[in-house]
Amino acid sequence: MDKMNMIATAQALLDAAKREGASDARCVVASTRNERLTIRESKVSGYSPKTSYSLVLTVFCGDRRAVVKGVSSDAKAIETLAREGVALARVSGAHEFDGVPGPEYWPCTSEEFDELQEGLSCVDRGPIPDFHVLKGYAEELHDLSLANEGVVRVEVSVIYLKSAQVFATTAGFTAFEEGSTWSVFAEVVGDDNGEIIVGVDGSRACTRAALRPFKAVAARAYHNMCERRGAVRPKSDTIHVILRSDVAERAIDTMIDALDADAAFRKKTYLLGSIGERCMSEALTITDFPRIKYSPFAGLFDNDGVATKDRVLVDRGVPTGWIGGYEECRRLGIEPTGNSSGCSQVFVNPGSMNLDELCGKFPRVLVVTDFCGRGFDPETGEVSVGVEGYIIDKGKREVVHEAIIAGTLQEMLKQCIPANDVDTEGPIHVPSLYVGEMRLSGV
């Protein structure tokens, strides 16, 4: 469905809701094309082209709210969806702080939106790839991955996603967005004296051309596999810990979860009482940049229609404020921050040392290269998580696995020292982080 038809469908949905008695409404009309091809052990093991179309209508009857979903845009289906939404809203619980944001919260007028959105454009304008195109890419990545010495099995996937959506409200804001994402993943399996070892890597970008070269993806997956050779269970001890850049985002992401306005209202965050206080290392500054050009994570507004904006989340160790959606922020008594969709693109300021220099500051240090399980709790700040990595002890390196580190985010981020090796893939750009001494459980 093209742009004008999607806009017309959204307006018809809002009009139908008003006719049924809604006081306000917002809706999303979305169309998605998703193709995924997987090669396992040199054969195509899966190909799933999917096209989906969806309508999501949020209806308000005074302070009562309901959300209904549909898949058809014909007139009868639209009327039925609106009728169901209003009927459900009338019998739902109160949501006195939710509603449709007015013009003061919009990123711009509807007339200005297309020009601003074009500046963030993240769309592959080439033809939609078919089975043979995806298969060609997957075979190239598969063969590069299998060519490395000691690899006995490979699985690769190539994924293409293209989406378009209209967001519209009865307050008069209408916006059309479209985007595309290419993703590739390689998993290589080797044998280490009878033990299976696995290495994984991937890349994601708006266009095929912007992906990391397949040779680089295959090489990193192989490197990650080789890092596991000769791994042993370490002795239990207290040890200095560094989270390598490709896994350090877990700690930062949990801290951002703890800044959620709804969690603050429910008193379910370890950061209660910490806003405006220096509770982390002065070396730690974290900023969200939601409008970076050509990023698959960029956006002018959140899921509620509130404008996004650059925001310093932590300023030299000081959390600057709570973040959240329109309802959650208003219930907490703060201005909506445009974060109902979470943070878009987070950057952690790097330090001055590279990873080797940072390791060299400590006589014995564990460098974490992978986590096993979640193990990070944004409510209490407690951390207890399985890890893999390597210990450097007076210059000697020992690969370890089947270990657990334990501590708290409060102490980890208070002692944090960032390196300068920022990982630029994904929505959180973070360098390797020294996080203090932690309890290590192994043998």
State the DSSP H helix or E strand holding residue 225, giving kind and residue range, or none if neither: helix 214-226
**Whole-number pLDDT of residue 427:** 84
**Whole-number pLDDT of residue 278:** 97
**Whole-number pLDDT of residue 44:** 96
**Whole-number pLDDT of residue 443:** 64
| Rounded CA separation 402/382 (Å) | 20
**Whole-number pLDDT of residue 336:** 97
3-34+50-118: CATH class: alpha beta
Distance between start and end Cα atoms, the chain: 59
Q: Which residues of the chain, if any, have pLDDT below 50?
A: none
**Which residues are CB-neighbours of 297 under 8 A, at least 6 positions away?**
290, 344, 345, 427
Sorted by where each begins, the domain ranges of the chain are 3-34+50-118, 231-443
**Whole-number pLDDT of residue 11:** 97
**Whole-number pLDDT of residue 215:** 97
Query: What's the pLDDT tens digit per position in 302-318?
Result: 999 999 999 999 999 99
Angle at 28 between CA 78 and CA 290, to 5 degrees: 175
Sign of the torsion formed by the C-alpha atoms of 124, 128, 132 and 135: positive
Query: Considering the entire predicted model, what is its pTM?
Result: 0.93
